[in-house]
Structure 1
């Protein structure tokens, strides 16, 4: 399963020098390099050649999708008559791809792009969709496999068997099944009678171990893979074995949907191939939706968190971007993101934010705002507060309370669409909105060291007592009890009836149990434990927001957001903290006051 002895490596060195490619322009053909892997019969050493081609007239070729791994060169190949140092994993991939007595033409990013030339990298990344659309097949190299030769075959058998069950349930041949077919199937539990008819292991049993190993391989976490397998047929190579990518993605999606797997960790690993497969069939999603779906994927260069998704935005579904680019009414053209690896990471992410806010057709920026977090110990303080930290993954860009879901239908800023104005400072974003109220007191909802089961009730009782001290008599319409429950549950409550006096923590726990949607209850508990704070404003409102919220922060409306946001004044500028939930202003109530004592203003976000 490891390195082939028939492909020995020359001494590690790198003397190959690239010849520059012609610049890409509307008046010149798109050119790129292709790698020819010479056959084993040609030389015992691994020898390759690079040739420049126009994309429109290139010979048939395959494209390699793989994990770069440690970028430190550990071996060399012969490129033309010179040596070229490469990574260990790429060396194994080339040895696996080399044929016995025939040349093989492939496109491999690490060799076909001069990675030391930032201008060339920037231009060639623009051609990625063209390349992966025009290749005859994508070869996915997942590595040499497992030390135990039985593991990968066992995983593949399980996937093939599952594909047959899927074909039978969907009523289509395996090659015709798509991600939407599986998403429309009924879910199951471990007690579902149909499970007894299938020859599949019970969930969380040892026979799932090989599949768990396979789906935990690093390839499934790469940012670029979504685009690499979306536009052409693909085959997975691992060691000497191979399997169709569609069978892999199909099995993963079905197992996730039906509740199979070795463990919770494996179920989480199944999300990535499922997301990739589904995204390959979807066109028309906005950049913020793609960033939300793929934010937890990994990229060696953090700029690729954005650049790796551009193929989905600027492709018309058939891989021919020329037609799209010639349509004058296509909104993305004016704010098209052009890859540029000379830019700093924050500049690339700024380009993404500006693309989102200017191309959002419905004027809804809630998804974007949900990905912005104020970070306590930001490893890169050069980032403006209004730019999401996509480089840090979902640990800082996923909002704990799922309160921006469309089913909640918040419209805190009414029907106001977002408005922006240019800024001479690229780190400043001007947005129009209105101040609503200032935060008077903030209470943490959970301390990480408190793990006892009754801690939540104790904290809620403490919050309730403090709310009574500050807000009795309650200065707003309705009862203090109803307002408190609405705030603490993120407004997920339904009709609340309080029968006991005085209102206490046990009453609150019962109300939460009886009024939250069942699928929302875990969001509430997670939010109370780890992510949110409870606050009271100077005009008697209550709300939940970020743990970073402080006294004297301001609840504001930024037009285009369905939820209010917490901003922190810093002189004449504002720091964006996070979205929040404040009962009493979630349906545009505060907008009634705009023009009647409350004024619109431009917020200078920094």
Structure 2
């Protein structure tokens, strides 16, 4: 007779590690959703079992917990196992589970039949690191063998009624979009997985207005299909409601979870659930991809203005399926994950690496071990990539640390912190030209982890003088901390209109910043009237201070002034995309030969605000005119170019832009095989720590990598 035990008596029986053994839940049927949850846990072999699997967000494990009755079926006694340590029969106990898991199980279970399902929170002993490590390596097989993966999107505990209503409506629109897709293409075409993937990528990754123009880059069939489907949906009577609903659905917490990459990528098929609604992965992801193109469509500005919160992390599910279908090796998977720089999260920071292993064909190149520290996990992944020649890890630009306390102070400067994402722009340069990375890892007793990296390189110079930091000037200009930390002007609620007093304060501050602005008070007032798209007044204060500071530093500490304005323009527009930098008006603005021309308000106003269509039209005040789209892009890119940096000059007469932490005496070095120069700081007599990447004017395209350049070996810790 089974005994009824309390929750504290729930004990996992050990799994056999000589075969792919795991636990399965047999979820008992229930007529009503609110009926108690009951299940049986049993041991099974992955290859010999029929089951489905659950993919969900753990969420708050303490809020609104549910009780579940679990019958634990004892596995058969092993050969030579003592009867003293083995009890016959089953044990029944009650266990509390999180609200999100309880909700998902209530909707997955059937009315009259058991559902055999694998659930990570219950089928793995989460308190046993050795078992977790072993079971995680089995997850590729677990999700690949499942008949279907049920992905639970919500609703979650305490989700707002308006969100629930909107997300529920989204599933109705998903069916509508799929019906339109079938009419255009034919269901037999989209039924093929590769065709479906191609359709998703084409429509999600190509701006709507360029689908036809860029058809040479993608298969013509799918470019045409995508353009026709987008046109059909945008012209639908409920287009606005479709966009709003799918926009809200894209922000579901589920899509931010790291483990969904493996869970949806390896699955034979995925059924997405939201309450009583469900849709296949093909229908849902195609619809979200369409909405992403919808949002980026410049032909529908009224729809683009509806929301700025559309979250494209759902695309990782599509990319994961593509990755798995290509059977990529681990080096390629990790490299792709780094380049993609997704912002997915995981409860355990080790899983930001471990969750990627299941996408690779040779995942055992890195061992899963939850007994390792986070430092050790990230170090092993970085070393694996660096030894394979992938040196872009070294030039990730992250001026503001976000993972305080997660990594130790002794975390190697050459290792990559997977918990944060940085700016990838330094990878576009070719400062080391055609050199190859000559690196090696050595035992280094002076470091905590007893490891250092040797890499050959060429010294550019030592930092002789530094200018004002980006964050200090942004703060003094009144820009929000969020905008400063993110490098995005439109972050942090700076879009409100300025009061009369604020306008006067800003114009006074600008007039003090530079003599040429004192006579332009009227133009300044006019420019500051518009606050509908960007914090223009605060930006302008920052811009004048930033350019003035850069000009002063360069003029005082560089001997040769022949290329001064060109080098200043190079630093100011470092992040300006080609579509903007090629504009004639932009070239004129950013390549001014003196500071007064660079901050000329009349020139900037002409570019930022649209002019009257006809000469006889009455001019409209700037306050009533929106900023032009190129104007918004330019201001954002100029802000991004300076983000997290401070200008500096070198003892070799170079002008550079380096991380804010740069100090006089730091060295800037071109390491072989690395696309951008690095700022290095002495850690001891023999080794250096990496401060970050730098932009050195006149060195970013390999100009200094001549055959006569001296080469040294740098030890990095």
- For Structure 1 versus Structure 2, the TM-score category normalised by the shorter chain is 0.7 to 0.9
1:180 aligns with 2:198: yes
Give the Cα–Cα distance (whole angstroms) in 1 for the partners of residues 285 and 668 of structure 2: 44
1:602 aligns with 2:714: yes
Q: 2:236 aligns with which of 199, 207, 216?
A: 199
Cα RMSD after superposing both structures:
3.7
Residue in structure 1 matched with residue 434 of structure 2 by the alignment? 414
Deviation readout 1:163-196 (Å, 9 max, x if unpaired): 3444556666443443432443563359x99468
Q: Secondary structure at the match of 2:443?
A: coil
Output aligned runs, 1:84-233, within 5 Å: 84-144=95-155, 147=161, 150-167=165-182, 173-176=189-192, 177-185=195-203, 187-188=207-208, 194=231, 198-199=235-236, 201=238, 208-232=243-267, 233=269
Q: 1:244 aligns with which of 280, 286, 291?
A: 280
Q: Which residue of 1 aligns with 2:290?
A: 254
SS in 2 for 1:403: helix
Residues in 2 aligned to 1:604 and 1:458: alpha-carbon distance in whole angstroms: 36
Once residues 499 and 432 of structure 1 are traced to their aligned partners in structure 2, the CA distance between those partners, rounded to angstroms, is 37
Unaligned runs of 5+ in 1: 1-9, 316-323, 325-331
Match of 1:47 in 2: 38
Residue 453 to residue 88, structure 1, CA distance change in 2 (3 Å)? closer
Equivalent-residue separation in structure 1 for 2:138 and 2:355 (angstroms) = 11
Other-structure match for 2:371: 342
Task: Tell me if the contact between 2:678 and 2:691 (Cα under 8 Å) persists in the aligned partners.
Answer: yes
d(CA) in 1 for partners of 2:590, 2:358: 57
**Are 2:56 and 1:20 equivalent residues in the alignment?**
no
Q: 1:539 to 1:34 in 2, by over 3 A?
A: same
- Residue 555 of structure 2: aligned partner: 468
Q: Is the 8 A contact 2:170 2:245 kept in 1?
A: yes
1:353 aligns with 2:376: no
Task: Calculate the TM-score normalised by the size of structure 1.
Answer: 0.81
Cα distance in 2, alignment partners of residues 501 and 152 from structure 1: 51
**Maintained 8 Å contact 1:189/1:259:** no
Question: Which segment is superposed worse, 261-270 or 380-389?
Answer: 261-270
**2 CA distance for matches of 1:578 and 1:170?**
50
Q: CA deviation at 1:113?
A: 0.5
Q: Is the 8 A contact 1:457 1:505 kept in 2?
A: no
| C-alpha distance in structure 1 between counterparts of 2:285 and 2:398, whole Å | 31
1:590 offset after TM fit, Å? 2.9
Q: Does 1:384 align with 2:418?
A: no
Q: Secondary structure at the match of 2:144?
A: helix
Mapped to 1, the partners of 2:37 and 2:703 lie a distance apart of 70
* Contact residue 246 and residue 291 of structure 2 kept, 8 A: no
What is the CA–CA distance in structure 2 between the aligned matches of 1:377 and 1:137, rounded to whole Å?
A: 36
Give the structure 2 partner of residue 288 of structure 1: 335
Taking a change above 3 Å as real, the CA distance of residues 122 and 153 of structure 1, as seen in their structure-2 partners, is same
Counterpart CA distance in 1 for 2:252 and 2:55 is: 14
The number of aligned residues is 551
* Preserved CA contact (<8 Å) 1:216 1:266: no
Pick one of 401, 404, 409 that aligns with 1:375. 401
- The answer (yes or no) to whether the contact 1:420–1:431 under 8 Å persists in 2 is yes
Query: What is the CA deviation profile of residues 305-353 of structure 1, one whole-angstrom value per residue up to 9, with x for unaligned ones?
Result: 000111112x2xxxxxxxx6xxxxxxx86xx111111111111101110
Tell me the secondary structure at the aligned position of residue 353 of structure 1.
helix
Return the alpha-carbon distance in structure 2 between the equivalents of residues 163 and 134 of structure 1: 27
Distance 1:497 1:236, change over 3 A: closer
Quote the Cα distance in structure 1 between the aligned partners of 2:246 and 2:403. Answer: 38
Distance, in Å, in 2 between the alignment partners of 1:352 and 1:290 is 12
Q: Which residue is 1:328 aligned to?
A: none
1:454 aligns with 2:472: no
Q: 1:503 aligns with which of 594, 598, 606?
A: 594
Paired residues of 2:378 and 2:416 also in contact (CA < 8 A): yes
Distance 1:195 1:376, change over 3 A: closer
Q: Which residue of 2 aligns with 1:365?
A: 391
Matched, 1:579 2:593: no
CA distance in 2, matches of 1:213, 1:57: 40
2:61 to 55, 58, 71: 71
Query: What is the CA-CA distance between 1:518 and the residue it aligns to?
Result: 10
Q: 1:373 to 1:200 in 2, by over 3 A?
A: farther
Deviates more, 1:158-167 or 1:115-124: 158-167
The alpha carbon displacement at 1:383 in A equals 2.6
Residues 104/265 of structure 1: CA separation in 2 closer, same or farther (3 Å cut): farther
SS of the equivalent of 2:453 reads strand
SS at match of 2:673: coil
Instruction: Specify whether residues 200 and 14 from structure 1 end up closer, same or farther in structure 2 by C-alpha distance, changes over 3 A only.
Output: farther
Residue 150 of structure 1, CA deviation: 4.2
Q: Are the structure 2 counterparts of residues 376 and 275 from structure 1 closer, same or farther at C-alpha, using a change threshold of 3 Å?
A: closer
Q: Specify the structure having the higher radius of gyration (Cα).
A: 2
